[in-house]
């Protein structure tokens, strides 16, 4: 059978373009071909009713070789297969024999489907001359191949499914005519006949090896190639066994073994119209097989010409069509000769003999892999060789001796030719060169020199050493960014790995257990990093190179608002708008939510005291950031409501009532809070209740400070209720102010400094003292130092009396000071540009101010807010 192939430029191909399913279907498509049509009759003639056993033996041997081919193909994905592989391992004679075997198999393989198409067609159109029709089919496909056109993976898979449908129609129409008696006796031909049948049919299993030598076009080849090859062989085996079993059941061993067109005969016997199904399938598969076989065989021949194992012009390609033109012409001419001179059944035995030699070379190549490069036991390759030899000996004697003798003669001619003395011309500088040599390990070379008029020199001899093996290229495990300080990967165990940044090599490391790591790196976006590996006794690998990507941005740290209690069903907080937020309770993630307008809420929670909660946030294209952890607490008890036991009138100057003893009581008039008082204990006879008296006076309206106060000012002025007593405090030191009848006040004779805290209160007769109005002294314009002033910090959201924390943003690393009514809290640092002050006790109308200062800069202007 032929070996259709896909070019790396074809649709659906390309580096790493074929996944597991595609590779599996492609392998099946490259195996299912005209072999089932052209070889089944002759093989049944030998095995009789045991043909299905013969096919199973062939499947087993093909499976062994397939594993070997996959192992070598993963490591050496080069055109030329076993010819190139044995050459790389230093066995040029075996390489040459394998290449010649493949060429013979390929040439014979061109004739078999061509004759098969003509023979099947002649059964329906008797007037068709078989050799001429076969020759025309070969010439048409050769012309297409000459122009560089080859079937793509999609086309091959499409042909496979079309034929699968046609096979199904044939089997479906033939099954009702199957006679169980025709399937027995299975061992009527003996073990010799069964082995002969397996050997003759063996050519039909060819086609899987193309997947092994196209590893560079397959995703994750080390896993995908074995899966595709073994799966493809099993699929093909099922298809072939169903078709062969059905045909045997319809015809019987005698009729099936005596026909060159058994499937057509089976279709005629079962249902007359089925012959068109078979004929259509033969036509489709023939052109697909010839095209693929001509292309793959010409590439092996091209590789042999390139390596000077054939005349060098076979190694050239057409300048325009990029096809190996001379090899295609040679294969076509020889194929035409065979079509017109040799019967179909003689061609199939020669094709199987050459296929078995090729498979033996493939198994030998797998044995030359070191253990690190293998994924199966060496016994599999040894079994493959033994099975191939056994099958080779089961072929007709004329085919094995003829094939083997012809190859041995060619190998001998090659051996003699490379030992003929080759002359070199010495240039004027005393240098000489002999090119075009094919050397093998252990070859003895000698050189003599002869100058005109002098006797020949004594010879200088040398023994050819083994060609050094190149170490497998190392792997860099993942993408590298500018944030990374270490890079790691895979390399052959024990090899020396040299890592370079922009061409500057770092200290070499050893791949221990196949793993290597280089740490302590300083990388920048756009840096070119590469790694090479070298094992003892091997040459340095090719470099693996990648470019350093930009360091990913980190999402701003999310914030949990307030304190979480066991009674809460929801937890809320702040995060960048659009970020994905995930809340975790004791390490178990809740469903993600999206922060809208900077606010997020996770609903439907079941919290218990002591639970540990945290929040992660991630904005598109940024790395995850995690909040500080928070423990769930028991919800604080709510103070009992205070009571006002009687009606309050406009004539009253005090309001009293009852509340828990010692509670802090705040009375508000029209939303304006009065100074807090404490509930004093008192006992009411017969009830045991406490009585609290609250004296509430009207608070004086807050004064106003006019403008901004700077360290250049000596007076501070403003407005207050007319006649009120105004007191100005500078850092706690009180200064009395004078208020005129118009409500203006002023304090003079002051000495102010930057960052002084000033506060002003006012009190009218019969009223309580007003809330203080505060302000921080800022530098005068002509006194601002040369250094920069830190940017004003930001207070996030609205602050209420229920809050125990206040947070916001400030320049990265700045020292942040929060003050409540002029009283500074402990300093915090803006980590990642965010700051938070916790453990606060706030009251409505408290004045909060926040300043920030970076190193080398002056204190910022304060950000201010009132507690709601």
Cα 140 to Cα 411: distance, rounded to the nearest angstrom:
33
Find all residues with CB under 8 Å of 633, minimum gap 6, and list them.
563, 564, 565, 566, 609
Q: How many CA atoms lie within 13 A of 482 on its CB side?
A: 9
Question: Is residue 15's pLDDT more than 70?
Answer: no
Counting other chains too, the contacts that 60-63 makes at CB distance below 8 Å and 24 or more residues apart are: 60/387, 61/198, 61/202, 61/359, 61/384, 61/387, 61/388, 61/391, 62/202, 62/205, 62/208, 62/233, 63/230, 63/233
Cα 287 off chain centre by: 38
Cα 34 to Cα 257: distance, rounded to the nearest angstrom:
17
Q: Are 228 and 69 in contact (CB under 8 A)?
A: no
pTM summary value: 0.48
Q: Tell me the mean pLDDT in the region 622-649.
A: 76
Q: Tell me the mean pLDDT in the region 374-393.
A: 89
How far are the Cα atoms of 134, 158, 497, 547, 717 from residue 516, in angstroms, in the given order? 59, 44, 7, 19, 74
Cα 508 to Cα 512: distance, rounded to the nearest angstrom:
13
- Identify the three-state secondary structure at position 708: coil
Domain ranges of the chain: 20-412, 469-547, 556-631, 786-868
Nearest to 109 by CA among 288, 267, 264, 272: 288
Q: Tell me the mean pLDDT in the region 522-544.
A: 88
What pLDDT, on a 0 to 100 scale, did the predictor assign at position 2? 41
- Beta pairing partners, 746: 717, 738
Q: Which two tokens stand for residue 310?
A: 């054939």
What pLDDT, on a 0 to 100 scale, did the predictor assign at position 734? 80
Comparing 343 with 858, which gets the higher pLDDT? Answer: 858
Question: Is residue 531's pLDDT more than 60?
Answer: yes
Find all residues with CB under 8 Å of 501, minimum gap 6, and list them.
521, 523, 527, 528, 529
Strongest mean pLDDT among 19-23, 738-742, 818-822 = 818-822
Find all residues with CB under 8 Å of 722, minimum gap 6, and list them.
739, 740, 741, 742, 743
Cα 352 off chain centre by: 42
When pLDDT is cut at 50, 70 and 90, the band that residue 687 belongs to is: very low
Domain 786-868 has CATH 2.60.40.10: yes
Which string of DSSP letters, residue by residue, matches 402-435? HHHHHHHHHHHHHHHHTTS-----B-TTS-B---
When pLDDT is cut at 50, 70 and 90, the band that residue 163 belongs to is: confident
Task: For strands 553-554 and 622-623, give the pairing.
Answer: parallel
Mind listing the pLDDT tens digit for each residue in 254-291? Answer: 888 888 888 888 888 766 567 888 878 878 877 777 77
Tokens 């045997």 found at: 248
What pLDDT, on a 0 to 100 scale, did the predictor assign at position 636? 65
Q: Measured over all CA atoms, what is the biggest interatomic distance in the chain, rounded to whole angstroms? A: 149
What pLDDT, on a 0 to 100 scale, did the predictor assign at position 338? 78
When pLDDT is cut at 50, 70 and 90, the band that residue 158 belongs to is: confident
Comparing 645 with 752, which gets the higher pLDDT? Answer: 752
CATH entry, 556-631, from 3.40.50.150, 2.60.40.10, 3.10.310.10, 3.40.50.300: 2.60.40.10
Strongest mean pLDDT among 76-80, 114-118, 269-273, 585-589 = 585-589
Query: What is the SS3 assignment for 208-254?
Result: CHHHHCCHHHECCHHHHHHHHHHHHHHHHHHHHHHHHHHHHHHHCHH
Q: Tell me the mean pLDDT in the region 549-573.
A: 84
**CA terminus-to-terminus distance, the chain:** 88
When pLDDT is cut at 50, 70 and 90, the band that residue 172 belongs to is: confident
When pLDDT is cut at 50, 70 and 90, the band that residue 235 belongs to is: very high
What pLDDT, on a 0 to 100 scale, did the predictor assign at position 724? 82
Sign of CA dihedral 18, 24, 26, 31: positive
Mind listing the pLDDT tens digit for each residue in 826-835? Answer: 888 888 788 8
When pLDDT is cut at 50, 70 and 90, the band that residue 4 belongs to is: very low
When pLDDT is cut at 50, 70 and 90, the band that residue 645 belongs to is: low
Nearest to 146 by CA among 318, 293, 5: 318
What pLDDT, on a 0 to 100 scale, did the predictor assign at position 785? 46
Class (C level, CATH) for 469-547: mainly beta
Mind listing the pLDDT tens digit for each residue in 389-438? Answer: 998 898 888 888 888 888 888 888 877 776 665 555 556 567 777 766 76
- Third-level CATH fold of 20-412: Amino acid/polyamine transporter I (1.20.1740)
DSSP 703: P
Question: pLDDT over 90 for what percent of the chain?
Answer: 10
* Strand ranges (E), 706-768: 716-719, 725-730, 733-736, 738-739, 744-747, 757-763
Tokens 């001619």 found at: 413
* Whether residue 594 has a cis bond before it, omega within 30° of 0: no
What pLDDT, on a 0 to 100 scale, did the predictor assign at position 415? 76
Query: Judging by beta carbons within 10 Å of its beta carbon (0-12, 13-18, 19+), is residue 350 exposed, middle or buried?
Result: buried
When pLDDT is cut at 50, 70 and 90, the band that residue 149 belongs to is: low
- Identify the three-state secondary structure at position 728: strand
Helix (H) / strand (E) element for 614: namely strand 612-618
Q: Are 294 and 145 in contact (CB under 8 A)?
A: yes
DSSP 843: -
Q: Are 323 and 301 in contact (CB under 8 A)?
A: no
Question: Is residue 638's pLDDT more than 80?
Answer: no
Nearest to 240 by CA among 205, 269, 275, 277: 205
Sign of CA dihedral 170, 173, 177, 181: positive
What pLDDT, on a 0 to 100 scale, did the predictor assign at position 337? 84
Sign of CA dihedral 59, 63, 64, 69: positive
Find all residues with CB under 8 Å of 30, minimum gap 6, and list them.
3, 4, 5, 156, 207, 208, 210, 211, 232, 292
* Strand ranges (E), 512-611: 515-518, 528-534, 538-539, 544-547, 553-554, 559-560, 571-574, 580-585, 588-589, 593-594, 599-602
Q: Are 102 and 210 in contact (CB under 8 A)?
A: no
Q: Which two tokens stand for residue 720?
A: 């207050």
Tokens 């809050």 found at: 803
Which string of DSSP letters, residue by residue, matches 369-394? S-GGG-SS-HHHHHHHHHHHHHHHHT
Nearest to 368 by CA among 136, 76, 160, 157: 76
Comparing 779 with 149, which gets the higher pLDDT? Answer: 779
Dihedral pair phi/psi, residue 813, rounded to 5°: 85, 0
How long, in residues, is the chain?
A: 868
Q: Are 668 and 674 in contact (CB under 8 A)?
A: yes
What pLDDT, on a 0 to 100 scale, did the predictor assign at position 110? 77
Same fold, 20-412 and 469-547: no
Helix and strand element counts for the chain (H, E): 18, 43
Cα 48 to Cα 833: distance, rounded to the nearest angstrom:
86
Dihedral pair phi/psi, residue 726, rounded to 5°: -105, 130
Q: Which two tokens stand for residue 10?
A: 């074809």
Q: Which of 9-18, 164-173, 513-522, 802-811 shows the lowest mean pLDDT across its residues?
A: 9-18
Q: Are 499 and 505 in contact (CB under 8 A)?
A: yes
Q: Tell me the mean pLDDT in the region 646-654.
A: 72
Q: Which two tokens stand for residue 856?
A: 């080398």
Quick one: residue 490, left, alpha or beta (phi over 0 = left, psi -120 to 50 = alpha)? Answer: beta
Task: For strands 588-589 and 593-594, give the pairing.
Answer: unpaired
Q: Are 301 and 291 in contact (CB under 8 A)?
A: no
What pLDDT, on a 0 to 100 scale, did the predictor assign at position 452? 58
Strand order in the sheet with 475-476: 475-476, 487-490, 515-518
- The mean pLDDT of the chain is 80
- Beta pairing partners, 551: none
């Amino acid at each position: 059978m032929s070996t259709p192939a896909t070019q790396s430029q074809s649709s659906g191909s390309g580096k790493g373009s074929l996944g597991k399913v595609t590779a599996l279907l492609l392998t099946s498509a490259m195996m299912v071909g005209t072999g089932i049509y052209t070889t089944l009759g002759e093989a049944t003639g030998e095995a009789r009713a045991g043909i299905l056993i013969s096919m199973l033996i062939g499947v087993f041997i093909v499976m062994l070789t397939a594993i070997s081919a996959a192992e070598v193909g993963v490591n050496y994905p080069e055109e030329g297969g076993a010819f190139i592989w044995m050459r790389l391992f230093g066995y040029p004679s075996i390489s040459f024999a394998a290449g010649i075997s493949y060429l013979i198999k390929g040439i014979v393989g061109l004739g078999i489907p061509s004759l098969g198409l003509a023979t099947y067609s002649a059964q329906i159109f008797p007037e068709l001359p078989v050799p001429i029709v076969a020759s025309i089919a070969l010439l048409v496909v050769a012309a297409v191949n000459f122009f560089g056109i080859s079937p793509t993976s999609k086309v091959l898979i499409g042909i496979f499914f079309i034929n699968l449908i046609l096979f199904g129609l044939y089997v479906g129409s033939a099954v009702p005519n199957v006679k169980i008696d025709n399937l027995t006796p299975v061992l009527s031909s003996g073990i010799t006949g069964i082995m002969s049948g397996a050997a003759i049919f063996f050519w039909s299993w060819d086609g899987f090896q193309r997947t092994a030598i196209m590893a560079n076009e397959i995703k994750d080849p080390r896993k995908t190639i074995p899966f595709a090859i073994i799966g493809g062989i099993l699929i093909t085996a099922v298809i072939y066994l169903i078709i062969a079993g059905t045909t045997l059941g319809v015809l019987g061993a005698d009729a099936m073994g005596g026909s060159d067109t058994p499937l057509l005969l089976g279709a005629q016997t079962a249902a007359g119209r089925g012959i068109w199904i078979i004929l259509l399938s033969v036509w489709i598969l023939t052109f697909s097989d010839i095209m693929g076989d001509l292309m793959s065989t010409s590439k092996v021949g091209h590789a042999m010409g390139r390596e000077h194992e054939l005349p060098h012009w076979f190694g050239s390609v057409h300048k325009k069509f990029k096809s190996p033109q001379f090899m295609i012409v040679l294969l076509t001419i020889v194929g035409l000769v065979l079509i017109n001179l040799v019967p179909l059944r003689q061609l199939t035995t020669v094709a199987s003999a050459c296929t078995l030699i090729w498979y033996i070379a493939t198994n030998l190549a797998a044995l030359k892999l070191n253990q690190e490069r293998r994924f199966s036991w060496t016994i599999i390759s040894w079994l493959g060789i033994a099975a191939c030899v056994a099958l080779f000996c089961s072929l007709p004697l004329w085919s094995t001796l003829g094939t083997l003798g012809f190859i041995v003669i060619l190998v001998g001619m090659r051996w003699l030719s490379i030992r003929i003395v080759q002359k070199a011309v010495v240039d004027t500088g005393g240098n000489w060169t002999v090119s075009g040599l094919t050397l093998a390990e252990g070859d003895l070379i000698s050189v003599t020199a002869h100058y005109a008029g002098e006797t020949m020199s004594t010879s200088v001899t040398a023994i050819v050493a083994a060609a050094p093996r190149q170490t497998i290229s190392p792997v860099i495990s993942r993408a590298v960014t500018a944030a990374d300080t270490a890079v790691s990967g895979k390399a052959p165990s024990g090899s020396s790995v040299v890592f370079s940044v922009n061409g500057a090599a770092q200290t070499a490391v050893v791949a221990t257990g196949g793993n290597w790591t280089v740490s302590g790196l300083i990388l920048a976006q756009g840096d070119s990093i590469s790694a090479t590996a070298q094992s003892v006794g091997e040459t340095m690998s090719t470099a693996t190179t990648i470019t350093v990507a930009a360091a990913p941005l980190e999402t701003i740290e999310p914030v949990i608002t307030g304190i979480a209690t066991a009674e809460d069903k929801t937890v809320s907080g702040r995060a960048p708008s659009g970020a994905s937020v995930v809340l975790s309770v004791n390490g178990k993630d809740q469903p993600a939510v999206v922060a809208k307008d900077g606010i997020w809420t996770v609903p439907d929670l079941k919290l218990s005291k002591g639970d540990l909660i945290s929040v992660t946030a991630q904005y598109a294209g940024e790395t995850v950031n995690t909040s500080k952890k928070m423990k769930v607490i028991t919800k604080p008890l709510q103070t009992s409501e205070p009571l006002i036991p009687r009606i309050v009138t406009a004539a009253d100057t005090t309001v009293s009532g009852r509340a828990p003893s010692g509670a802090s009581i705040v009375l508000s008039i029209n939303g304006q809070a009065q100074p807090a008082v404490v509930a004093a204990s008192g006992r009411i006879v017969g009830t045991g209740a406490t009585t609290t008296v609250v004296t509430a006076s009207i608070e004086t309206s807050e004064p106003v400070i006019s403008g901004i106060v700077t360290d250049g000012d000596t007076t501070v002025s403003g407005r207050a209720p007319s006649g009120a007593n105004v007191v100005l405090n500078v850092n706690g030191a009180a200064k009395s102010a004078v208020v005129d009848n118009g409500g203006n006040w002023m304090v003079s004779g002051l000495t102010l400094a930057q960052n002084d805290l000033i506060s002003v209160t006012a009190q009218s007769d019969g009223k309580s003292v007003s809330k203080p109005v505060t302000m921080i002294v800022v530098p005068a314009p002509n006194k601002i130092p040369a250094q920069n002033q830190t940017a004003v910090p930001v207070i996030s959201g609205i602050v209420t009396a229920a809050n125990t924390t206040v947070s916001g943003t400030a320049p990265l690393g700045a020292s942040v000071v929060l003050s409540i009514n002029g009283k500074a809290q402990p300093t915090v640092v803006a980590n990642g540009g965010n700051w938070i002050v916790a453990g606060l006790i706030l009251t409505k109308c408290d004045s909060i101010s926040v300043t920030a200062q970076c190193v080398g800069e002056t204190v910022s202007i304060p950000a201010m807010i009132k507690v709601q």
